Structure 1
């Protein structure tokens, strides 16, 4: 219990990332056609228009990997106080969010880009906390 409480900030941030990325990945899996259709329209006037299905697949895989790494990171923190998987999950979450931010900026969806930054801030803070 002491290990859990000692790392509670990191664990809560990891839980935030698990919820965010697993839910997003599950949404893409359960409504692939709907997501693909919306994204094709979203990127139809951009240089990314011909690679939307590939990019959606890449984002889906990365989101699931982030969720798994962060979940394992929570387990590591809670049981042995280690942060290796948490650190990798936090870094990868930042990379995925930067990829999403790039897409929103290319599509000139500035409100969407602003929303991504809201998720990016706690992820970057977690990387900062886990650096030591």
Structure 2
């Protein structure tokens, strides 16, 4: 129990990232057409519309990897007192959020970009916590 308490910040951040990216992954997989439709509308006045399907596939893969590595990170912290998986999951989450930020900036959705920044701060903090 003491080990869990000593690593409570790390474990809570990993749970936050798992919930965030697992729910996003599930939404994209279960409502693929709805997501494509929304994105086509959101990016309608930009050059990225033809790239949306491949970009969404990339995002789904990265979200799955983030969820996997953060989940393995929890077990690794609890069992082996190591943070390698957690660090990889945190870094991938930062990459995803940077892609989201880029998309919001391309569409000039500055409120959306500001909202992504909140998630990015948590992810960067996780990367900082898991540095060896």
TM range (shorter): over 0.9
Give 3-state SS (helix, strand or coil) of 2:23's partner. Answer: helix
Is the Cα–Cα contact under 8 Å of residues 3 and 80 in structure 1 kept in the other structure?
A: no
* Aligned positions of 1:1-132 closer than 5 A: 1-132=1-132
Distance in 1, Cα, partners of 2:54 & 2:127: 28
State the shift of 1:61 in Å: 0.9
Q: How many residues align?
A: 132
State the shift of 1:79 in Å: 1.5
Normalising by structure 2, report the TM-score: 0.97
Which deviations, in whole Å up to 9, do the C-alpha atoms of 1:19-63 show, x marking residues without a partner?
000000000001001010000111111111111111111101101
Normalising by structure 1, report the TM-score: 0.97
Moved over 6 A (4+): none
